[in-house]
A and B are shown apart, each in its own frame.
Chain A
Amino acid sequence: SAVISQKPSRDICQRGTSLTIQCQVDSQVTMMFWYRQQPGQSLTLIATANQGSEATYESGFVIDKFPISRPNLTFSTLTVSNMSPEDSSIYLCSAGTSGRGEQYFGPGTRLTVT
C-alpha cells in the first residue's frame, strides 16, 4: 500500500481565483489520479496524472479548467482554475501500481468557493 498526503486539507476561495492542490505519495507509484466528490455524491474521476506528459482527462473535464502536473513518480498537482461556487467539492488524489484497480486515496481537500 501507499501513504498519500494532500495539501491543503481545506480552503475557502473567492470566485474567479485558482487553487493548486498538492499530492505526495510516500513511494514510487505507477498511476496517480484525481477525483472530485461533490456534496452527497460519489467519486468522479477527473483525470489520470501521467508522469512527464499531459494528463488524460475524463469526459466533461478539460485541461484549461483543471491543469495537472506530475513531474515525478511521487508527486502531482491539480489546479482548479477560475473557480465558481459549482467547484465547491472534495478533491481526492489517489495512487496505484497496477492499472486503475487497487488505489489508495489521500485524505482529500475540501474546497469551498464563495
Chain B
Amino acid sequence: EDKVVQSPLSLVVHEGDTVTLNCSYEVTNFRSLLWYKQEKKAPTFLFMLTSSGIEKKSGRLSSILDKKELFSILNITATQTGDSAIYLCAVESFRDMRFGAGTRLTVKP
C-alpha cells in the first residue's frame, strides 16, 4: 500500500532557527511530490518536485527530492513566528494523491 510518512510530527523552535522537515514515501508510479502549508483550514501550495536533486527555492523556504532514496526535505531558514503552521507533504501517483500526517511547526518569539 502507498505510504507517505512525515517527520517529525511536531517541532518547536525559536525565531531565527533553521528547520528541516522530512517526507519519505513508498508509492507506485510516482509522478510528483508536493509541499503545502496549512495555517487554518486551507492548505497553500509551496512546491512541486518531480526531478531528483533539483532544489526549489522561494525566499527562506527550499525543498529537494531524492527519487532514489524516496524522500524529500523542506528547509526553512531564519524562521519567523509567521512560519508556524502544519506542513503537509503529498505524493501524486498515476492512481491517486496521498497526504502525509503533517509536521506541526511552532516558532516561538
Q: Which among A12-20, A62-70, A78-86, A100-108 touches the partner chain?
A: A100-108
Given A42-B88, A101-B31, A105-B43, output 11 extra A-B contacts at Cβ < 8 Å: A4-B42, A43-B90, A45-B99, A92-B41, A92-B43, A100-B97, A102-B34, A102-B48, A103-B34, A106-B42, A108-B42
**A114 interface residue (CB < 8 Å to B):** no
Residues of A within 8 A of B45 (CB): 1, 102-104
Contact of B44 with A by CB under 8 A = yes
B31 engages A90 (CB within 8 Å)? no
Please report which residues of chain A, range 1-27, place their CB below 8 angstroms from some CB of chain B when the two chains form the complex: 1, 4
Most buried by A among B36, B43, B100: B43
In the complex formed, the residue of B with least CB distance to A56 is B96
Neighbouring B residues of A90 by C-beta, 8 Å: 41
Number of A-B residue pairs, CB cutoff 8 Å, is: 51
Contact status of A107 and B31, CB under 8 A, knowing A100-B92, A100-B97, A101-B92: no
Please tell me if A52 contacts chain B, counting CB pairs below 8 Å: no
Q: Which residues on the A side are within 8 Å of B62 (C-beta)?
A: none
Contact A42 B96 (CB under 8 A): no
Asked whether A101 lies within 8 Å of B32 as measured between CB atoms, the reply is yes
Residues of A within 8 A of B (CB): 1, 4, 33, 41-45, 58, 90, 92, 99-108, 110
Is the pair B41, A43 in contact by a Cβ cutoff of 8 Å? no
Closest to B100 in A: A42
A34 → chain B, closest Cβ, in Å? 12
Which chain B residues (31-59) contact chain A, with CB distance < 8 Å?
A: 31-32, 34, 36, 41-45, 48
CA distance A1 to B34 in the complex (A): 15
B101 within 8 A of A: yes
Known: A92-B42, A102-B45, A107-B41. A43 touches B34 (CB 8 A): no
Q: Which residues of B contact A107 (CB under 8 A)?
A: 41-42
Cβ of A105 to closest chain B Cβ, rounded Å: 4
